[in-house]
A and B are shown apart, each in its own frame.
Chain A
């Protein structure tokens, strides 16, 4: 997966969490008419992400609040399970997508 796809996916997740939280605020009685702008930005981002990757993200989102999580000290920060070393010594080539073997979340590295 190239860096740009990953960046879009992380940005999409940020917006999704923001939309979700804003909808929670709406129920509490806050004015949030600007949520439509967030939703429009979400649509734009969605178009930049390859369909299979986007579908995988949407599926994961039904199970987890965060479908895309960083890796730190060889550990998936979604489920806190250590990753096998074969996965953590990654090269620079375009490998389609890394997922955690334990929880299935999409992984990214904070370089």
Chain B
């Protein structure tokens, strides 16, 4: 997956600099709320339920303050990614028990023609494994900066 394709799933309206949420459920709800406003979705609870089910399978908190809640939903037609940040940190039942500061939420439709869901997830995890990238993301203030930081992974 090239940089252009990778970044096409992000959107300035899906960039949340400061989450109000204090718990994992609140965080998921807040981000899904922003998403459904952006996409004009009527059944946002379906996406929320799906994300919570995925969390029950195993927390998507991958450690180092990062969580990647994700899943597939009939409610949407194309894959998208939302980025959100919490300065205070959110308890998330992560692998390393550390609170989460950066959240990348990925929702994909059940059938995709290009099957980009797992490759995208893989590339994102690869970028987030770099400590330098995580430090920059923690400080990033706007959408353009986010894309700049992600570009470093290509």
A→B interface (CB under 8 Å): 21-22, 24-25, 28-35, 37-38
Contacts and interface: CB of A to CB of B under 8 A. Distances in A.
B18 to A, nearest CB: 26
B125 A22 contact: no
Contact of A24 (B60, B62, B95, B118): B118
Interface string B106-122: 00000000000110011
Nearest to A21: B118
B58 A30 contact: yes
Given A22-B57, A35-B57, A38-B57, A30 B118 contact: no
Interface of B: 56-60, 62, 68, 95, 117-118, 121-122, 125
B94 to A, nearest CB: 9
User: What is the predominant secondary structure among interface residues of chain A facing chain B?
Assistant: helix
Contacts of B56: 34
A21 B125 CA distance: 15
B143 to A, nearest CB: 25
20 contacts: A21-B117, A21-B118, A22-B57, A24-B118, A28-B122, A29-B62, A29-B125, A30-B58, A30-B60, A30-B62, A30-B68, A31-B59, A31-B95, A32-B57, A32-B58, A34-B56, A34-B58, A35-B58, A37-B57, A38-B57
A32 B53 CA distance: 12
B64 to A, nearest CB: 11
Nearest to A36: B57
A38 B54 CA distance: 11
A32 B70 CA distance: 13
Contacts of A24: 118
A34 B93 CA distance: 14
B59 A25 contact: no
Nearest to B57: A34
Contacts of A32: 57-58
Given A32-B57, A34-B57, 19 more contacts: A21-B117, A21-B118, A22-B57, A24-B118, A28-B121, A28-B122, A29-B125, A30-B58, A30-B60, A30-B62, A30-B68, A31-B58, A31-B60, A32-B58, A33-B57, A33-B58, A34-B56, A34-B58, A35-B58
Contacts of B57: 22, 32-35, 37-38
Contacts of B117: 21
Contacts of A34: 56-58
Contacts of B62: 29-30
